[in-house]
Structures are given as C-alpha cells and as structure tokens.
C-alpha cells in the first residue's frame, strides 16, 4: 500500500481505477505517462516551476555516463548498512529520476520508492526509467505523503523544508542530505567567473540530530566535451556565463573536475 496523501486535506489517497481519491472527495488522475500531479496552484511560483527542459536533458545525459555514481554509491551504501525488511523511500527533488531509479536497482524491489519534483517535465522524463516507482509532481513545502510514514528521505542537491521532513519521517526514520562544499566543481567556476565567491553553508544545515556527517571529495576525469558541457548545463553556472566568457565552452574537452560534498544523515 502506498503512502500518498492529498495535498489539500492531507488525508490518505486511495487508488480507484486510474484515479487517486481521498475521503474528502478530492481526486487526482494518473497521467498517461504514469505519474500523479499533486502540485497545487498555490504551491507554484510560476506556471512551469523547476529546472528548464534544456537543463533536464543535459542532466539525464550526464548522469547516465556514470560520472556521478560515486555520489549515488555513498547514499546507497548508508541505506544498505541500515536496511530493514521493507522501507518507504522518498527521493526529494528527484529531477529526471536517475538517482531514484538507480537506488531501486541497487537496493532491490522489496521497498516502496517515491520520486518527487516540482517540475512536471522532470517527472514526465522520470517515468521512462521505471513505471513501478511512484513519480509525483509536488512541492517539498507540501509533501503529499502521509504523516510519519517514511523510513528514508534522500535529498541530493536540493533545498528541503524542515517541518515537512519532521512530519513525514517515522520516529526512527532519517534523511540523507547531499550538499555542495566550497570546492565543488571549482575548476568550472574558475573558468567562467572573474571572481569565485564563497557562500556560507549555515542556511542549508538543519536543526536535527546528526547521525553521521562527512566530506566526500574526489577528482573525476571527463574526456568528452559533450559530457563536460552537459555537466555545466545541469548547473546554474551555465546560465550565468557572461558573453565575453562564452569562449571557455571551447576549452571543456579533457576536463578534470572536483566533486566536493558534505553528506549528512539527519534524524529529526
């Protein structure tokens, strides 16, 4: 049984044919692609929120090269080490679905998986990986999941809402938060910015019990220009390149970049 909840009244959703309904008679149809749209209009900041289609296509192409699999493996290895018989796992801000799909491949089919993103285009792309995952268009500020029903929340490079994390996790549940450190993709930053500004990370740290926290740093080689360009396009940096810096795009071939992350496991 899934743990989907109505985003309007927060009561459990039950599947009736190809429609999810709650006891207050709110209903949500499953799309032809197999996802469910639980994003309310008040939860949108614009008509098409989330990453652009260009960014999502680049992200899918880059992630499928496996260059970022070392990050995925860190997350999966923690879950494996604390695995229970059946778990409810939500990948928050799942984008086009690669991490969610690969988590299911590596952890097995005995668990229930949910992938949530605010971008309808992203979720539409995600359904092409695995239709047995519950793909949801939704907002992390109003997660359409029942109270205290999740064993694990993963949040890779995405902003989270602490109140919703507390509400949706079980008492013994935990969240794995992957965030960028100062040196993450530093080589690309030096290529496109005149000055690399250092931002404080205090606003992304959460006021929860920390079960584990460590830095993960690795240099990866990207021999193909196409892959390096896709990496750049899936980050905000690409969209901040000044006209006079556009020539750097021709120098991306044979690029070595630094992965520099903080991996934190929280228990609210």
Residue 4 counted as domain residue: no
How many residues can be counted in the chain? 268
Asked if the model's pLDDT at residue 45 lies above 70, the reply is no
What mean pLDDT, rounded, does the chain reach? 93
Residue 74 lies in domain: 34-267
Write down the pLDDT at residue 195.
83
94 annotated as ligand-binding: no
Residue 13 counted as domain residue: no
Q: Identify the three-state secondary structure at position 217.
A: strand
97 annotated as ligand-binding: yes
Identify the burial level of 32 via C-beta atoms within 10 angstroms of its C-beta, where 0-12 means exposed, 13-18 middle and 19 or more buried: exposed
Chain segment 209-221, per-residue pLDDT in tens: 999 999 999 999 9
68 annotated as ligand-binding: yes
Domain containing residue 50: CATH number: 3.40.50.150
Count helices and strands in the chain by DSSP H and E runs: 7, 11
Chain segment 156-191, per-residue pLDDT in tens: 999 899 999 999 999 999 999 999 999 999 998 888
**How crowded is the C-beta side of 160, counted as CA atoms within 13 Å?**
28
- 20 and 30 in contact (C-beta within 8 Å)? yes
26 annotated as ligand-binding: yes
134 annotated as ligand-binding: no
164 annotated as ligand-binding: no
- Mean pLDDT across 9-33: 96
Residue 17 counted as domain residue: no
96 annotated as ligand-binding: yes
Residue 118 counted as domain residue: yes
Q: How many domains does the chain have?
A: 1
pTM of the model: 0.94
Q: How confident is the model at residue 243 (pLDDT cuts 50, 70, 90)?
A: confident
- Mean pLDDT across 105-131: 97
């Amino acid at each position: 049984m899934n743990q989907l909840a109505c985003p309007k009244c927060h009561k459990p959703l039950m599947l009736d044919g190809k429609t999810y309904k709650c006891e207050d008679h709110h209903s949500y149809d499953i799309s032809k692609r197999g996802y469910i749209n639980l994003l309310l209009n008040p939860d949108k900041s614009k008509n098409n929120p989330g990453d652009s289609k260009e960014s999502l296509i680049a992200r899918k192409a880059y992630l499928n090269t496996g260059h970022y699999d070392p990050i995925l493996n860190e997350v999966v290895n923690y879950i494996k080490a604390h695995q229970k018989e059946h778990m409810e796992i939500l990948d928050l801000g799942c984008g086009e679905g690669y991490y969610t799909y690969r988590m299911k491949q590596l952890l097995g089919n005995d668990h229930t998986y949910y992938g949530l993103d605010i971008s309808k285009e992203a979720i539409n792309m995600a359904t092409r990986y695995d239709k047995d995952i519950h793909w949801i268009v939704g907002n992390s500020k109003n997660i359409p999941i029942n109270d205290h029903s999740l064993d694990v929340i993963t949040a890779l490079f995405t902003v989270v809402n602490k109140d919703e994390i507390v509400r949706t996790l079980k008492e013994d549940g935990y969240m794995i938060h992957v965030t960028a450190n100062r040196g993450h993709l530093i080589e690309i930053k030096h290529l496109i910015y005149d000055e690399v500004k250092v931002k404080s990370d205090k606003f992304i740290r959460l006021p929860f019990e920390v079960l584990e926290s460590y830095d993960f740093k690795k240099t990866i080689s990207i021999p193909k220009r196409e892959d390096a360009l896709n990496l750049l396009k899936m980050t905000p940096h690409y969209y901040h390149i000044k006209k006079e810096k556009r020539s750097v795009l021709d120098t991306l071939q044979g690029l070595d970049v630094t992965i520099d992350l903080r991996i934190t496991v929280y228990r609210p």
